[in-house]
Amino acid sequence: MPEHSTPITRRTLLVASCGALPAFSALAQPRSADAKTLRVTQLLDTSADQQELSRDYSTGVRLAFAEIKQTGGRVPQLVSVDTDGSAASLRAALQQVRSDPTQVALLGAVGGRLATASIAAAKQAQFEIAHVAPWLADSRFDGEHQVFPIFASREAQIRHALSALANLGVAELGLVYPGQREEEMNDEIEAITQRLKLRTRRLSVPSGQDVAAYAAALRPDVPAFLLFLGGSIELAQFTQGLTKQVLPRYIICLSDVDTTTLLQLNPGKAASVIFAQVVPNPQSSSAPIVRSYRQTLKALFDEAPSPVSLAGYLAGRYAARVLGGLDANASRAAVLAEFERRRPIDLDGYRIEFTGQGRGSSFVSQTLLGANGRLIG
């Protein structure tokens, strides 16, 4: 990239289609038309509530590849395939990948619904391909031989977040589902909370109702501790609605909520928000891998560090390390076999080591957004 090229911002990407990422794509392509390189494919969900999450994670993956190429390292070519959140769109995307034998692995499928659906659909179609570092908090596919999730599960995130509230004696948890799609995970969440010996109360925003209006109309006897199971936009609306409430609330949110994005959306200040994050703090961590991420992000793109793009960066670094020793003509079967070795990998202090739980890392950190609007942690 020329030194004086125009910086790329996330906001610029939001107004373009996910498949049209000219500046990023230039970083991810082979050096010449004749250069041989492995090709990996990232499935992206461009539906309204998943678009920003997809772009952030993709930003991180591409950033990692750009950094490695700048230092003379070898990286695969990254192909992006859009989906619109529908089953038909996903089937078409998987067929597109399957029909092209040069696409040897799926890397970083995002968001969570798409990652889960793509694994299930490929399994049903008997499509043998590695699913590397999907954005996957759902633990149903942990241990599947084709699936290589490298971040902590939803249950690990919930347990860690609740540990911060242990001194407050949490006995009941309100489960906030901002939409019908989010409510589909209720069985999983109820099973987790039963293992934690917590009573729960389901709070589902009715179809067609504004999330802020729903929050503003909550009854006073709603639990003080709420687990919010949506994304950044919905959480911003929910907290804005809570400003109409008198009683204070503590809201736990998981890795689908990005702190940087949420703060840009002017959340309400009536509740304290606990963010469970599956990566170190991208703004303040002194870990070498996070410093490298910040330095490269500042050098190449006009972007604020965020947990989701840092996660994508770690995913890209991990994939490049595993694929680095393979021949450029390696088949899907050879690539899958290489990932199945599940070798421990140290990325400048961030260790990916698959355990009996089927995940490369159980790391969870947390950040608190106080009712005064200040971030702590």
pLDDT tens digits, one per residue of 158-206: 999 998 888 888 999 999 999 999 999 999 999 999 999 999 999 999 9
- Tell me the average pLDDT across 272-298: 95
Query: Radius of gyration over alpha carbons of the chain, in Å?
Result: 20
Same fold, 10-151+286-352 and 154-277: yes
Whether pTM exceeds 0.85: yes
Q: Which option is the CATH number for 154-277: 3.40.50.2300, 3.40.50.261, 1.10.10.410, 3.40.50.300?
A: 3.40.50.2300
Centre a 10 Å sphere on the Cβ of residue 227 and count the other Cβ atoms it contains: 26
User: What residue type is 81 in one-letter code?
Assistant: V
More confident of the two residues 299 and 165: 299
User: Is the pLDDT score of 79 beyond 90?
Assistant: yes
User: Is the pLDDT score of 346 beyond 80?
Assistant: yes
104 φ, ψ to 5°? -100, -10
State the pLDDT at residue 35: 52
Q: Which CATH class is domain 10-151+286-352?
A: alpha beta
Distance CA(169)–CA(172), nearest Å, equals: 9
User: Is the pLDDT score of 247 beyond 70?
Assistant: yes
Domain ranges of the chain: 10-151+286-352, 154-277
State the pLDDT at residue 175: 98
For residue range 6-52, what is the model confidence (pLDDT) as tens digits? 333 443 333 333 333 333 333 334 333 345 789 999 999 999 889 99
User: Is the pLDDT score of 237 beyond 90?
Assistant: yes
Q: Extract long-range pairs of 26-35: CB within 8 Å, 24+ residues apart.
A: 26/1, 27/1, 27/62, 27/65, 27/66, 27/69, 27/300, 28/62, 28/65, 28/66, 28/75, 28/77, 28/78, 29/77, 30/77
